[in-house]
């Protein structure tokens, strides 16, 4: 299970889908990620994520939170995916 990798791409996908999906995706990411954030602001990578550590986990967690802020994600919506 690649928890942080999956949550990052989930956030990106929901952002690209836009609208209600983007709003719900942002809530889901916050509900999943904030309770497991360490007191120092970092996240730990589970041991089953290939031994990736705090830097990897924190990087993906932060990027997942930023995606809805549109700071690094590009919205490329195929016409068939629009509401």
- 52: its two tokens: 């990736």
Render pLDDT for 15-67 as a digit per residue (tens, 0 to 9). 888 889 988 988 898 898 889 888 998 888 766 665 677 888 888 888 887 76
Cα distances (Å, whole numbers) of residue 2 to 6, 10, 46, 82: 6, 12, 8, 29
DSSP-derived letter for residue 22 is H
- Among 80, 67, 66, 60, which residue's Cα sits nearest to residue 16? 67
Q: What is the pTM of this model?
A: 0.68
């Amino acid at each position: 299970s690649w928890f942080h990798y999956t949550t990052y791409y989930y956030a990106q996908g929901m952002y690209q889908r836009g609208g209600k999906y983007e709003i719900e995706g942002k809530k889901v990411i916050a509900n999943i990620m904030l309770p497991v954030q360490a007191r120092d602001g970092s996240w730990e990578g589970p041991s089953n994520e290939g031994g990736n550590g705090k830097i990897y986990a924190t990087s993906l967690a932060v990027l997942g939170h930023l995606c809805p802020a549109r700071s690094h994600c590009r919205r490329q919506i195929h016409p068939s995916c629009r509401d």
